[in-house]
Amino acid sequence: MKQDKAVLVFSGGQDSTTCLYWALETFKEVIAVTFDYGQRHHLELECAKAICQELGVEHHVLDMSLLNQLAPNALTRDEIKIELGEEGQLPSTFVPGRNLLFLSFAGVLAKVKGAKHIITGVCETDFSGYPDCRDVFIKSLNVTLNLSMDDDFVIHTPLMWLNKAQTWELADKLGKFEYIREKTLTCYNGIIGDGCGECPACVLRRRGLESYLTTKGEI
Ligand SMILES: [Zn+2]
């Protein structure tokens, strides 16, 4: 695969930055694409831009404001509180159609750029109830993209079966543990690195980090 070109869906967060390093080791050329859907924290886009610039990765930011127009959610509107879903309900951070649209547009970009591979950091293990992070959805979309463009794309999901601790372990194996810990943004309150420590994204990230460091014997 080292000869091939890949398009990566990139948010500047822990997961997709780990995927970016994985992709750089796996493919000859990586093109990153970030979607602007009116995130409350514009810093997310700045963070993604800065990382790509630093690593010399071709980066595209595509306007997806229609997503916020159609489906306002806790990630784009201040007045919507971030809440974990009750049993059987989706959390308020769920954006319907997000991965369907992002991956479809990444597919279009891959077609235009002559890339066979598409990479996304979705994960079924800690999927917070998001249906579009499941393996079955990705496999189904892969078939659909191939049929729609008469191509043979391969969607890669390096994190699909990892828990958060194992994602940190992967970052460490790639030699990028510190970089990812310090320079990525996962926090819903827009605080880079270890974040605010209180929002659901920070809690999940910290739990994984602590569990990984415990396994390593560092705490
Ligand atoms: Zn936070």
Residue-wise pLDDT for 153-177, tens only, equals 999 999 999 999 999 999 999 999 9
The CATH number given to whatever domain includes residue 206 is 3.40.50.620
* Rounded Cα–Cα distance for residues 118 and 27 (Å): 11
pLDDT at residue 117 in the model: 98
Ligand 1 midpoint to CA 108 (Å)? 33
- The answer to whether 12 is annotated as binding is yes
Q: Where residue 218 falls among pLDDT bands split at 50, 70, 90?
A: confident
pLDDT at residue 201 in the model: 86
**For the residues 128-135, what does the mean pLDDT come to?**
85
**For the residues 208-218, what does the mean pLDDT come to?**
92
pLDDT in tens, 67-109: 878 876 666 666 666 666 666 676 667 788 899 999 999 999 9
The total domain count for the chain is: 1
- The answer to whether 199 is annotated as binding is yes
Mean pLDDT, all residues of the chain? 90
* Rounded Cα–Cα distance for residues 101 and 92 (Å): 19
- The answer to whether 20 is annotated as binding is yes
pTM: 0.90
pLDDT at residue 1 in the model: 77
Ligand 1 midpoint to CA 192 (Å)? 9
CA distances from 170 to 73, 106, 163, 176 (A): 31, 24, 11, 9
CA 7 remoteness from chain centre: 13
- The answer to whether 16 is annotated as binding is yes
Which residue in this structure is represented by tokens 């970016």? 20
Ligand 1 midpoint to CA 101 (Å)? 26
pLDDT at residue 219 in the model: 73
What is the residue range of 8's domain? 2-216
- The answer to whether 45 is annotated as binding is no
- The answer to whether 11 is annotated as binding is yes
Q: Which residue has the higher pLDDT, 96 or 60?
A: 60
